[in-house]
Structure 1
Amino acid sequence: MAKVLLIDDDTELTNLLGEYLSEEGFVVETTADGRVGVAEAMSSSTDLIVLDIMMPRMNGIEVLRKIRQVSEVPVLMLTARGDDIDRIAGLNLGADDYVSKPCSPGELAARIRAILRRSGRTERDGATDEIRTGELVLYPSKRRAEWRAAQLELTGTEFSLLEVLARSAGQLVSKQDISLRAFGKPLTAFDRRIDVHISSIRQKLGARPDGQPWIQAVRGRGYQLLEG
């Protein structure tokens, strides 16, 4: 069973990521205290650490430095977008990878799986990296999609959105939930990004036999991917 430790003082984000990773089959623990993270790194039961750089009292760079003094556990850094200095410092200190915030939970899970594979650590027995609904198949760790037995060409954003809907196929998902699960941040007023990308995904999926799109919109509420 792969155990992931999230070290971040942003409780809203860690709750979101923790819930998502738990659904993906990981065992998740969270802490907002870097000192606790260092102590946990000494435990052989921790398979991977997701570490935020910007934290009070002890920042992520210092936490990583102390972790590397006692453990080679894989560490995935969360960095501010465009913050090359911290990113380079983290990699030089032995971070295995980094993801810029805000990040989608799906991307984070894919990065975690890739690191676990490279490090030879295992995921939870029985966990599957495949989502199937009707003739749609998604492979989150590879960010690859198949539709009617053929590869479906999607942008990264389109894949994240379709993954959220596929995980809740047949159910209505609010745009706020879609934004949180796909992009890792709340939906802002007048943000039409989801609508634009959903429109593109609809075109790529084509129409149902009854002429309706596979992704249905419920005005003012959200979207629903219809099951096959």
Structure 2
Amino acid sequence: MAHTDGNRRILVVDDEVALAGVVAGYLTREGFEVTVAHDGPSAVDAVRDADPALVVLDLMLPGFDGLEVCRRLRTFSDAYVLMLTAKGEELDKVIGLSVGADDYVVKPFGPRELVARVKAMLRRPRTGPVAEGGPIRRFGTLEVDPAARTVHVDGHPVELTRTEFDVLELLSSRPRTALSRGQILEHVWGPDWFGDPHVVDVHVGALRRKLGDDAAAPRFVRTVRGVGYAMVTR
């Protein structure tokens, strides 16, 4: 499979040296350029040096853990982050996604499954080109600028991850439509994505926190019971 230069670089971070080597080997055979790191500080340095398109990131690392790696890399990188979690660590999954991971895979996993998830994530559609000077979308004190990919609330900029912005961009593009999890997954994660559909809920939760929104009394994003999510248009 051929890859463009922009999405061939992958960083694999796991303190289990043998596992990291196996995953790196599978990805290399698929034509990716793979760098490996085994602890938190080395992982952050490797993201700065290699500028990967995607980071496969284990939660439990020496130095500092994967959550801290994710927090730090989100200050300078928009690489996709595929987090590796142990079975049953539901809270860690939620925290991981809330600090900027895009998706997770539960250990133990087969390397072929992981490679398939990596490929699916890198095929995710990016927001298409927006006409220069396109309209800024306003919902009360929330402003979404699709062309600049910026968000402001009460006049103040809000820093969103790439996935959080993509979810908000989609919802704001269809303000009078309630979108199901499946529709959001298809448009943001892409038709090739497979995994836990509740990943949408976690990202919406993180989005709301950053916007200062309240699910019980929403100003911007409302839950449509039995369906999914929609913008508040009143």
Matched AA of 1:39: D
Does the alignment pair 1:7 with 2:40? Answer: no
Q: 1:9 offset after TM fit, Å?
A: 0.5
Q: CA–CA distance in 2 between the matches of 1:10 and 1:112?
A: 19
2:41/2:63 contact within 8 Å kept: no
1:110/1:142 contact within 8 Å kept: no
Matched AA of 2:85: T
1:208 is matched with which residue?
none
1:224 is matched with which residue?
none
Change (3 A) 1:96 1:119: farther
Identify the match of residue 72 of structure 1 among 71, 78, 81: 78
Does the alignment pair 1:36 with 2:42? Answer: yes
Change (3 A) 1:12 1:108: same
Q: 1:27 offset after TM fit, Å?
A: 1.1
2:37/2:46 contact within 8 Å kept: no
Unaligned runs of 5+ in 1: 121-140, 144-228
TM-score, normalised to structure 1's length?
A: 0.50
Q: 1:43 offset after TM fit, Å?
A: 4.2
Q: 1:142 offset after TM fit, Å?
A: 5.6
Q: CA–CA distance in 2 between the matches of 1:7 and 1:20?
A: 15
2:221 is matched with which residue?
none
Does the alignment pair 1:84 with 2:90? Answer: yes
Q: CA–CA distance in 2 between the matches of 1:119 and 1:80?
A: 28
Matched AA of 1:112: V
TM-score, normalised to structure 2's length?
A: 0.49
SS at match of 1:69: coil
Q: CA–CA distance in 1 between the matches of 2:120 and 2:23?
A: 17
Unaligned runs of 5+ in 2: 127-190, 194-234
Q: 1:109 offset after TM fit, Å?
A: 0.8
1:77/1:90 contact within 8 Å kept: yes
Q: CA–CA distance in 2 between the matches of 1:44 and 1:31?
A: 11
Matched AA of 2:30: E
Structure 1 residues 127-146: Cα deviation after superposition (integer angstroms, max 9, x where no partner):
xxxxxxxxxxxxxx969xxx
SS at match of 1:51: strand
| Cα root mean square deviation, aligned | 2.0
Change (3 A) 1:106 1:72: same
Matched AA of 1:20: Y
Q: CA–CA distance in 2 between the matches of 1:31 and 1:90?
A: 19
Runs of 4+ in 1 over 4 A off after TM superposition: none
Q: CA–CA distance in 2 between the matches of 1:43 and 1:56?
A: 20
Q: CA–CA distance in 2 between the matches of 1:44 and 1:10?
A: 21
1:27 is matched with which residue?
33
